[in-house]
Structure 1
Amino acid sequence: MAVTADRPVTAAGAELPPLEIPITRTLIVSGAIASRDYQDVHHDAELARRKGSPDIFMNILTTNGLVGRYITDHFGPRAVLRRVAIRLGAPNYPGDTMVLRGTVEQVDGDTATVRVVGANAIGRHVTGTVTVTVPAGGA
């Protein structure tokens, strides 16, 4: 497996350092706008409450982008995401913090499969796997 800046990931079982992401209204709304998800539950707190949610919440496309960022931050700018498969659980509400953690499940040459879990104060927000290739030469 290729080496990132100072963290080689050479075997299944290796753990990536956690990444804490503050969940702000700005992050939730800007992620929804960037992904063209104009559902009111992602930007209008009053309408979200009328639909049964205590507040606006993050959409899956923003979560998907944050999972991708987590992997590429670790493996470096040459990393190529080959597959991202995630499932949402507990919502990400403003004022919370999501902590992403990853464990290498499998390594095959320059490609690794990483199990990712992102949790917040109410539970697991996201679980899934990411397959990433780091071409020879590392970061």
Structure 2
Amino acid sequence: MSASVLRRVARALLGLGLLSTSTPTVADIRDYEFKLVREKVKKGQAVVDVRLIHKPDDRAVSDAVIFAMRLDMAPDDMEQMTSAIEAVKSPEPGLYRFKVDLTAEGRWRISLAAKVQGETETLQGRLVLQATP
């Protein structure tokens, strides 16, 4: 196909609104954040719910792929004290549920890494929850 034919096709597509000359919007991974639904949980086996939020419009984000998670007591200067964390099925879109074993009272940190659909960067979050008696 010749260059002149390609230019005519491009002009036609522009006229129909099927082609844009504007630069695509660059998304920013900092527009997303994880939020705990509850910050206090009873010590022992528990379920922790985390929301993934798109901050500019406060919209819940579903279909993120969480590929790394860690649970430790770093907020109480005991980063080496780790415990079990497991992703489990969520009851609703935009809510990510984890089964945890809070073996001691105190502050626990949940560290998450996720890929958000449509974003190239990795979202990382660190959330602190309180294990109570």
In the superposition, the TM-score normalised over structure 2's length comes to 0.31
Q: Which has the larger radius of gyration?
A: 2
Pick 1 or 2: higher relative contact order, CA cutoff 8 A, min separation 6: 1
Higher helix proportion (structure 1 or 2) = 1
Higher strand proportion (structure 1 or 2) = 2
